[in-house]
Amino acid sequence: GLQPNFRLVVKIMETLKKNWIIILIILATFLLAILAILTGIKLRQLKPVAPTVPQATPRAEVEPTPNPACTLAFNIQPTPTPTPTPTPTPVPKCWNTCQTAADCPASLSCQTVSDIMRCINSECPTEEDCLCPTPTPTPTPTPTPTPTPTPTPTPGVTPSPTPQVEVPVTPQAATIWPTILIIFGGILLLGLGFVL
């Protein structure tokens, strides 16, 4: 009774010894398939993985509670109507007509110019703006510096600004079924190759 079972075990051991690499590849493929499926399922979850992660509410959803201590009140009162003020009599200025020296500002005097009494600057009585002309100084020549040669820069490579690289946004997968079908198709092809 023990002989046939022993031969069967020996035959299985010899087969495993000959094909251990293929068996290892099949096991690795199954492990990778399970890992890919679990990763795809985790990526499809819209909720946080850890239950202790606090749920953040957007600021737009938070409604502020009114604080009764902070209130703002407006009292609108009618604007007062302005009362008209009398216009003052103009004070004579330069080259205006005058009767006495009291009619002119302190810096001007009342004198006769071309048979008319006018407020004028006594230092320059013919000037209608009461500003005496100032003598213009003659410009003196200033020595010009002699030009000195400046070294020309040697041509070289000018650094150009590095362009800003935009980080692409990874699109969210719509479904996991194509991944599962590809994995099982690969396993079937591997099994078919093993049989042939």
Q: Show the domain range for 28.
A: 1-45
Given 108, 132, 156, the domain boundary residue is 132
Q: Confirm whether 81 is domain-assigned.
A: no
Q: Confirm whether 19 is domain-assigned.
A: yes
Given 106, 132, 158, the domain boundary residue is 132
Q: Confirm whether 140 is domain-assigned.
A: no
Type and span of the H or E element at 23: helix 20-44
CB 194 within 8 A of CB 52: no
Q: Confirm whether 12 is domain-assigned.
A: yes
Total number of domains constituting the chain:
2
Q: What is the pLDDT of residues 91-103, one digit of tens each?
A: 457 888 898 888 8
pTM strictly above 0.85: no
Q: Confirm whether 34 is domain-assigned.
A: yes
Q: Confirm whether 35 is domain-assigned.
A: yes
pLDDT confidence bin for 31, thresholds 50/70/90 = very high
Q: What percent of the chain has pLDDT over 90?
A: 6
Q: What are phi and psi of 49, to 5 degrees?
A: -70, -50
Q: Please say whether the dihedral angle defined by the alpha carbons of residues 38, 43, 46 and 49, taken in this order, is positive or negative.
A: positive
